[in-house]
Chain A
């Protein structure tokens, strides 16, 4: 412990800490009464708790017994006699249970069945995973594509290097349907996938916006190179080559949406995407 003169100093220091804590508590009350302010609240609370904490620690370190004391460790395991006594009593109770095999097995069966039956309500937590993961609201065919505010898009409204996010009409809140409309430059070498020659309109191509890695929206369009970059894990897709992944953890191209134009000149999706959108799952290919 501490020497007398030094002890007085430490005692005064600790008391000062407590006193400062008191003042800070008053300050905290005033701050709150006057409308609050996160910075004042945090710092004053820190002074209150810090003052009390330092005061207590100084008290403990300097004025409480600090010498070393030894305590014996007993063996943790029970003695052989204790274990034997326990085993005897336990087995005495166990034998009547064991002797009635029929009762034991049928009771165990009933309890297991009860446990299994209790799990059934968990099934109500969600619907059977159906074809929903493989279909979007474009499926009926010839669905107009619209912007977030519901307005349809004419091809002429999208300039070269332009990109806009669209949805199926009346489904602008569907989380699986956001679609990127991109107009590539004439000078860029766009190569349609086989069988998709008529999927573009005037150089405008449409891909699912959901990354095939873990489903983040692929929001970064790098117009000079026709690359789509996903900001989550840096998967990169080549817009000029069917949105094939060229870097990063994504292993599949972004599904493409076949575009057409309806009688009023607005862009439509003639069919659903070329494949299930977004991240993969066990039976995606079936």
Chain B
């Protein structure tokens, strides 16, 4: 009996360890694999027409559907486009604009995992506003962002009909994703140019811009002198002319001379 136990012990131990390893391994792999797999399925139904079976992109020929490669889009790129509802596009070739997301947050997580698995694109940064520095965020914003998105975050015109969008609806994660991925015409700001701490500060300032202090009263669009000029003329001069009209008597203006004759012939240039 003891010889049986002794000879079988290594076997039992090996079997037990193997079983434990198998359980441990599948406990690690399963959620990730499941997510990527779910993502692949969603991708296959919603994205392959334009982005290709493996996300390698489809060339646009004569107005047919097509789209860029997603191999280097990474977590950040996928998250940005999906969570802001810019993708999927209603029709190929239109400019992506913010929309209601077409997928639920869980589905977005799956798609993000799948797209990230395709290549080496930027990871989704972990934006944490709890210790962020608002003033530093402002400095970074004015140095890197205001040229396109305007000092107040209301966006701005680019060439040939495109526009940098307003930032009023951007969540901190979306800000982080956009900064790292440079969607569309936007440049890419890597971690050596805008560090992780910088990104937190920046996201805090972008959040501040959604409802900044307006001690002066109605912000009238926060687009600077143009709406201010409108108000000066419409409200200001309008009111002043109305008041002047009320104060001044309208003295009657007489037409010169009671002579009446035919309206002028065509004698002018």
A residues bordering B, Cβ < 8 Å? 38-39, 42, 57, 60-61, 66, 68, 147-148, 153-154, 157-165, 182, 217, 219-225, 227, 229, 231, 234, 236, 247
- A-facing residues in B146-193 (Cβ within 8 Å): 146-148, 156, 158-159, 162, 164, 182, 184-190, 192-193
The answer, yes or no, to whether B263 is at the interface (CB within 8 Å) is no
Are B217 and A42 in contact, CB atoms less than 8 angstroms apart?
yes
B159 and A229 contact, CB distance less than 8 A: yes
Closest Cβ neighbor of B148 among chain A residues: A220
Cα-based distance from A78 to B148 in the complex (angstroms): 66
Which 6 A-B residue pairs are closest in the complex by CB-CB distance? A219-B147, A157-B192, A222-B185, A161-B188, A163-B187, A159-B190
B82 CB to closest chain A CB, in angstroms?
20
Partner of B217, one of A39, A154, A157, A222: A39
Chain B contacts for A164, CB-based, 8 A:
193
Q: Residue B158 contacts which of A154, A182, A222 (CB distance < 8 angstroms)? A: A222
Give residues in B with beta carbon < 8 Å to A.
Answer: 143, 146-148, 156, 158-159, 162, 164, 182, 184-190, 192-193, 215-217, 246-247, 249, 251
Q: Which of B158, B188, B189, B193 contacts A229 (CB 8 A)?
A: B158
Q: 20 additional contacts, CB 8 Å, given A157-B193, A223-B188?
A: A38-B215, A38-B216, A38-B217, A39-B217, A57-B246, A61-B247, A66-B249, A159-B188, A161-B182, A161-B187, A162-B188, A162-B189, A182-B187, A219-B146, A219-B148, A220-B148, A220-B164, A222-B162, A223-B186, A236-B159
Residues from chain B with a CB closer than 8 A to the CB of A162 are 182, 187-190, 193
Which of A154, A158, A160, A231 is B147 in contact with, Cβ under 8 Å? A231
Q: Which residues of A contact B189 (CB under 8 A)?
A: 162
Q: Are B193 and A147 in contact (CB under 8 A)?
A: yes
> Are A57 and B147 in touch, CB under 8 angstroms?
no
Q: Measured between alpha carbons, how far is A225 from B161 in the docked complex, in Å? A: 13
Cross-interface CB contact of B185 among A57, A157, A224, A236, cutoff 8 Å: A224
- By a CB distance below 8 angstroms, the chain B residues around A182 are 187
Chain A binding site: helix, strand, loop or mixed by DSSP?
Answer: mixed
Chain B residue at minimal CB-CB distance from A164: B193
- CB pair A158 B193 closer than 8 Å: yes
Query: 25 A-B contacts, Cβ less than 8 Å apart?
Result: A38-B215, A57-B246, A57-B247, A68-B251, A148-B143, A157-B190, A157-B193, A158-B193, A161-B182, A162-B187, A220-B148, A220-B156, A220-B164, A221-B187, A222-B158, A222-B159, A223-B184, A223-B185, A223-B186, A223-B187, A224-B184, A225-B159, A227-B159, A231-B147, A236-B159
A57 to chain B, nearest CB (A): 6
List the A side residues contacting B185 at CB < 8 Å: 222-225
Q: Which residue of B lies closest to A181 (CB)?
A: B193
Chain B hits for A38, CB < 8 A: 215-217
The interface centre, meaning the residue of B159, B164, B186, B188 with most chain A CB atoms within 10 A of its CB, is B159
By a CB distance below 8 angstroms, the chain B residues around A147 are 193
Bound complex: CA of A23 vs CA of B24, how far in Å? Answer: 80
Q: How far is the CA of A181 from the CA of B136 in the complex (A)?
A: 22
Residues of A within 8 A of B162 (CB): 222
Which residue of A is nearest B186, CB measured? A223
A57, A148, A157, A220 pick with most chain B CB within 10 angstroms: A220
Q: Are A223 and B147 in contact (CB under 8 A)?
A: no
User: B residues within 8 A CB of A57?
Assistant: 246-247
CB neighbours (8 Å) of A160 from chain B are 188
A256–B156 alpha-carbon span in the complex (Å):
27
Beta-carbon contact of B156 and A231 below 8 Å:
yes
Q: How far does the alpha carbon of A176 sit from the alpha carbon of B148 in the complex, in Å?
A: 22
Question: Which residues of chain B are within 8 angstroms of A236 by Cβ–Cβ distance?
Answer: 159
> For the complex, what is the distance from the CA of A39 to the CA of B193, rounded to whole Å?
42
Shortest Cβ distance from B194 into A: residue: A164
